[in-house]
Chain A
């Protein structure tokens, strides 16, 4: 089973900041990493596929990087609407596994 270690668990940012969220896999998963955004009471939104590909319709201030075991979600020029819970998912192998999630607060 591939364990995903996501950090930080919580972070606070100011509009205009750049933030990085990390997800480390316990074994090589190529680029089989997705990132999602979720707001309370709403359906999760798919934002990054295959580690680096921005899902159509997602603002370009979101980006993903990484391959193998180390992955990063970057949000540039943060806006207040980016306040949410972010999580990663590996789909290289079963069982599918998630990171522990990051709650992003905007001051």
Chain B
């Protein structure tokens, strides 16, 4: 059974760096074809894909946010970490992580974690 859970601060100040952790079970990020991605949804707005990391450490980023994002994995801990620098109130959103395997893109999702950016 695949599960994912996001964790991190609920409140960050403008200009700070956000660090979110996705802790998962039921699969390994060392298995060929497996990946974990991050997606966010501002209140009342559409979902936005942020980043994706694959089993072979291939990384993909949203072009509009690439300069602010870093995605890494710790296979031994079953975790994927996303950092986003220079946070702004417009980054207030629910942040989700999701599993990918081959063409099964985002077939399992976490419940999400709400991050508010405010001074």
Q: Write the residues of chain A forming the contact surface with B, with a CB cutoff of 8 angstroms.
A: 1, 34, 36, 41-46, 49-50, 55, 87, 89, 91, 94-101
Contact = CB atoms under 8 A, between A and B. Distances in A.
Q: Is the interface of B mostly helix, strand, loop or mixed?
A: strand
Given A87-B47, A101-B46, A96 B109 contact: no
B107 A101 contact: no
Nearest to B112: A43
B46 A95 contact: no
Contacts, number: 56
A44 B96 contact: yes
A99 B63 CA distance: 18
Interface of B: 4, 37, 39, 46-49, 52, 60, 62-64, 96, 98, 103-112
Contacts of A89: 47, 105-106
A100 B111 contact: no
- The DSSP consensus for interface residues of chain A is loop
A87 B46 CA distance: 9
A49 B49 contact: no
Given A34-B106, A49-B105, A91-B105, 17 more contacts: A34-B105, A36-B106, A44-B96, A44-B106, A44-B109, A46-B104, A46-B108, A46-B109, A49-B104, A49-B107, A50-B103, A87-B46, A87-B47, A89-B105, A91-B103, A95-B64, A98-B49
